[in-house]
Structure 1
Amino acid sequence: MACDRYMAICKPLHYMTIMRQQVIDHFMCDLIPFLEPTCLDTHTLGALIAAHSGSLCLIIFSMLVASYAVILCSLRTHSSEGHCKALSTCASHIMVVVLFFIPCSYLYLIPVVSLPIDKAMTVFCTLVMPMLNPLIYTFRNEEVKKVMKKLWGQMLKADHK
């Protein structure tokens, strides 16, 4: 919309030739869908964007995985209770990291092509994932664990009847 308004105000006589009727078919203003309506050759620029964004995404993900590996290796010397508590904490963190970085890596490692699945991945990264974070971390709460075990037990009893 910003580009559209800029063209309408600054170049009103060229507006109809510069801005086509085609709109950006995406939910958020990400760089790759924004490049599609431009008149530039996006093959080289797209490869640079994918290399830069993808490498940053992979570097950060590998640093996080390495840090969790160090944490888990250092737990060998601790008691079993501390070991279980740390594993519980790390498991929820790792789940959130994986659920965020897999769609993120997909979005930024692909070349400059807009696919229909991109919109779903964008919605997952921007809406679903932030809503899942509290739910994932809630499962670490002892009271929630007790209620879940109770519900699970009731469901198993109902299945046997």
Structure 2
Amino acid sequence: MKRSRQQTAVLLQLEQSARVARQVTDIHWDGNLPVDLPAIAQGLNLRMQQDGSLAGGDACLVYDAERSTLRVNPVNSRQRQRFAIAHGLAHHCLGHPSHADAPDSFNMGADIASLEANLFALEVLMPELAVRQVIRQEDLYDVSELAQRFGVSATAMHVRLQSLDLITQQDLDCSSAR
């Protein structure tokens, strides 16, 4: 199937987002699981702050000349907060303008900046090498257990496993039929 120029441009942007995420983890990740997002934020000179006033939103990135702040809604589950933080790190690292994310911007049908941030978040929260290593060395194949090990939701783990071709849609259909 032939891609349009626009589709090719989007794919290139997404690939760049994944590359930047890998560079960030190469530089700022200590290799332990789950990935220490506050340490990565600190390494990027990004302040993190809990903010219950986000009214249904997950996170808000506020740029400042000295030190930008990622405000995170503390009402959300730990897994959702972690995804929101990684998503906010993406907007910061990718140079997106100030960004506030509502819950539905975390789906894969969102605008290009949010798609880039979603891909970045998957890469940072579940680095490919770590996912493959945990599966191989710990003989761990249960998606829920993998999600717990990486501090993410089962949905995020499913998406990551699919992106790494470690699970198929058929596998997902079979597991949800049980």
* TM-score normalised to structure 2 length: 0.25
**Greater RCO between the two (CA within 8 Å, min separation 6)?**
1
Which structure has more helix as a fraction of its residues?
1
Which structure has more strand as a fraction of its residues?
2
* TM-score normalised to structure 1 length: 0.27
Greater Rg by CA = 1
